[in-house]
Structure 1
Amino acid sequence: MSYLTKAIAPQLYLLTNDDEFELLYQKLETTLATGLIGLIQIRRKKTLALPNGSAQLFEEARRVVELAQSHNVPVVMNDNVDVAVQLGIGVHLGQQDGCATDARRFLGSAQIVGRTCHGSAALVEKAKSDGASYAAMGAIFASTTKPKAETISRQQLEAGCQKDIDICVIGGLTAENISNLKGLPIKYVAVVGDIMDLPVNQIAKRCQQWQQALSKWYTPA
């Protein structure tokens, strides 16, 4: 199967981690300043678990959205359609986190709606028919963010890539191992730990390494 006629390399899709917010914000500033980020997902599970978590999450999300907009980078909210509607951003939904069709209706045609599809081409097809913007497949590799997530095969990923919807890959991806997926028609490469777990002063260099890896996406081995 040849994908080399597809000329556009994937974009980096950055997911937030659970750092203290001011540190997280510094990391986002540094990462966005590289110009390499195509999409941001706000995922703050520890914040949401606090007694005033919903209000705090909204304020954090508002600041992240303002920062991302200053760099012309779209944002999606993990799981929460109501907050996405209030902030005028997109949403990413797990399989147990609501209906993509409803999210599309609430958010309108202009916003990004993502759907977790694991390793199932059937779920990718369903995401497409429900109006999702992209289908997320993985885990590609084991990761520290979700260590219990089941990894998927190359065959499963290739089957999803044939469903005529943008594909996002996620799970344990690094600037070194992403070469294992070289040439596949992937829209987004989702990254958490390989960037967000670094100290602020190491992030720009790591993003440069990602840029070098992705620039070779469709070149011969």
Structure 2
Amino acid sequence: MTSFLLADSAAMTTFPQLYLLTNDDEFALLYQKLEIALATGVVSLLQVRRKQILAQSNGREQVYSEAQQLLALATRYNVAMVMNDDIALAQQLGIGVHLGQGDGDVTMARQALGEQAIIGRTCHHSLDLVQAALQEGANYAAMGAVFASTTKPEAQIVSREALVAGAQQGIDLCVIGGITAENIGELRGVAIRYVAVVGDILNHPVTAIAARCELWQQELRRWYQ
């Protein structure tokens, strides 16, 4: 299934790719926004992250049901999909996984999900964690917060110099935290694979999603200009 596999290296672009994480919107609204966003072609990776839903009594079953629908949507638009934190759910769905530092072992995830699964690891601001992610077999290392974020205001800000060093460790680099289409230009030129966003797309009304995605596409295509 295409949402399970890594992108073919021959088809990779030279500029960063947009990595969209879901929020906890009511599902019908979330689905509507995601359908518009994915249809623009700018999103290359989708993460199912439904923390408030998971906290409910039947949350895991609900997230599985939602993720099945999102996987069908992502497959339609040839967008890869990963599950946040939960290796077992990722295995049930046949997709990859993103793991925080306390949310599972990369090696175990690789054994469960297979060699072609996309596996990401949160590395905060630490080059040691980036190197560990590489050694353990992750596909990308996520560093952040890059800018001040209302989602995680306590997060340490990662400098451009640290991001440049992270990009030189031999593993794809993902940046996350406070990133918008207006400030992403400050990172232009850094060898980033994924730019992860949530609110800068999904906090907008349905009618503004397409235009927001088009602005992102313009910014990312200017990366090495």
TM class by shorter-chain length? Answer: over 0.9
The aligned amino acid for 1:61 is: A
Q: In the alignment, which residue of structure 2 is the partner of 1:71?
A: 77
- C-alpha separation in 2, matches of 1:42 and 1:64: 8
Q: Give me the TM-score of the superposition, normalised by structure 1.
A: 0.95
**What is the deviation of 1:174?**
0.7
- How far 1:148 moved relative to its partner? 2.2
What secondary structure is seen at the aligned counterpart in 2 of 1:12? strand
Runs of at least 5 residues in structure 1 that lack an aligned partner in the other structure: 1-6
Deviations, residues 160-211 of structure 1 (Å, cap 9, x unaligned): 1110100000001111100010011100000101001110100100111111
Q: Is 2:123 the partner of 1:117?
A: yes
| 8 Å CA contact retained: 2:179, 2:197 | yes
Give the C-alpha shift of residue 146 in structure 1. Answer: 2.0
CA distance in 1 between counterparts of 2:162 and 2:191 reads: 14
Structure 2 residue aligned with 1:198: 204
Q: Which residue of 2 aligns with 1:24?
A: 30
Q: CA deviation at 1:157?
A: 1.2
Matched residue count:
214
Q: Residue 147 of structure 1: CA displacement? A: 2.3
Give the gaps of 5 or more residues in structure 2.
1-12
1:101 aligns with 2:113: no
The answer to whether the 8 A contact 1:145-1:193 is kept is no
Kindly report the root-mean-square deviation, in angstroms, between the aligned alpha carbons of the 2 structures.
Answer: 1.1
Equivalent-residue separation in structure 1 for 2:148 and 2:199 (angstroms) = 12
Give the Cα–Cα distance (whole angstroms) in 2 for the partners of residues 199 and 85 of structure 1: 33
Q: Percent identity?
A: 60
Give the corresponding residue for 1:164.
170
d(CA) in 1 for partners of 2:209, 2:153: 23
The residue aligned with 1:186 is 192
Aligned partner of residue 181 in structure 2, secondary structure: coil
| Aligned-pair CA distance for 1:65 | 0.7
Could you list the structure 1 runs, at least 4 aligned residues long, displaced by more than 4 angstroms after superposition. none
For 1:4, the equivalent position in structure 2 comes to none
Q: The residue matched to 1:98 in structure 2 has which SS? A: coil
The offset of 1:144, in angstroms, is 2.2
Task: Please state how far the C-alpha of 1:105 moved relative to its aligned partner.
Answer: 0.9
Q: State whether structure 2 residue 141 is matched by structure 1 residue 145.
A: no
Q: Please name the residue that 1:155 is paired with.
A: 161
Q: Is the partner of 2:19 in helix, strand or coil?
A: strand
Query: Aligned residue for 1:14?
Result: 20
CA distance in 1, matches of 2:31, 2:151: 19
Alpha-carbon contact 2:163-2:190 (below 8 Å) kept: no
Measure, in 1, the Cα distance between the counterparts of 2:117 and 2:102: 21
CA contact (8 A) 1:145 1:192 kept: no
Q: CA deviation at 1:158?
A: 1.4
